[in-house]
Copies of this chain bind each other. A is one copy, B any other.
Amino acid sequence: MPESDAVIDLLGALAYGELSAFDHLADDAALAPTLVGRTQMSALAAEEFAHYEVLAAQLTALGAEPEAAMAPFVAALETYHSLTKPSTWLESVVKAYVGYGLAADFYREVATFVDDETGALIKDVLSDAARAEFAVREVEAAIGEQPAIAGRLALWGRRLVGEAISQTQHVLADRDSLMLLLVQGTGDLAGVAALITRITDRHGERMTALGLDS
């Protein structure tokens, strides 16, 4: 299989990830208790859409139809979102930071296995500095007022990881090109295990930044 199949798959998965993130963040913005929170969550959504546009343009430049490239990943991503639908504003904030962070770490790892142009593009569209600040501020303030909330949000963080891993496995089991890219890129299964450890460690750091157990 040519490498470009894996690149199209990778960009397609990431593009749909951004499009669905846009959609769900825009929804979640409605949970905000203040207009300030709502506009910040909406800004994250709009940013995801801008990323989607960059990725769709690159797919088109590579001769792929963005919709066709995204189609194989719609079910897994929508399943992830439906299983991790926030029921409170804080859950949505933690998801925006922790869930997105997990996905971004995964794509950043995989970006090192593809050609430089694709790798640079992927790293470019994944940046979560602004959302870290926003999430930490919201969650810290809430825990300050109501310390008991920390336990529930820690559980929520674990659920986000669990569902993300589960859907990633479904996608990899389905898409040989991506599975091969991952195994060949990391070298072997021990390499895959090391990658998972790195991603899990960074997830732990994000939870710690929020003042939550991971």
List residues of chain A with CB under 8 Å of any chain B CB. 19, 22-23, 26-27, 29-30, 34-36, 38-39, 42-43, 45-46, 49-50, 52-53, 56, 66-67, 70-71, 74
Contact = CB atoms under 8 A, between A and B. Distances in A.
Contact of A70 (B35, B45, B74): B35
A74 B34 CA distance: 12
Contact of A35 (B30, B43, B49, B71): B71
A30 to B, nearest CB: 7
A49 B43 contact: yes
Nearest 5 pairs of A and B residues by beta carbon: A26-B26, A46-B49, A35-B67, A46-B46, A42-B49
Contacts of A36: 67
A185 B29 CA distance: 37
Most chain B beta-carbon contacts within 10 A, residue among A19, A49, A56, A66: A49
Most chain B beta-carbon contacts within 10 A, residue among A26, A30, A74: A26
28 contacts: A19-B39, A19-B42, A22-B26, A22-B42, A23-B26, A23-B29, A23-B30, A23-B42, A26-B26, A26-B27, A26-B45, A34-B67, A35-B66, A35-B70, A35-B71, A35-B74, A39-B52, A39-B56, A39-B66, A42-B49, A42-B52, A43-B49, A43-B53, A45-B46, A45-B49, A46-B46, A46-B49, A46-B50
Contacts of A45: 26, 46, 49
Nearest to A45: B26
Contacts of A53: 43
A67 to B, nearest CB: 4
A22 B19 CA distance: 15
Nearest to A70: B35
A9 to B, nearest CB: 16
Contacts of A46: 22, 45-46, 49-50
Nearest to A49: B46
A76 B35 CA distance: 16
A71 B26 CA distance: 20
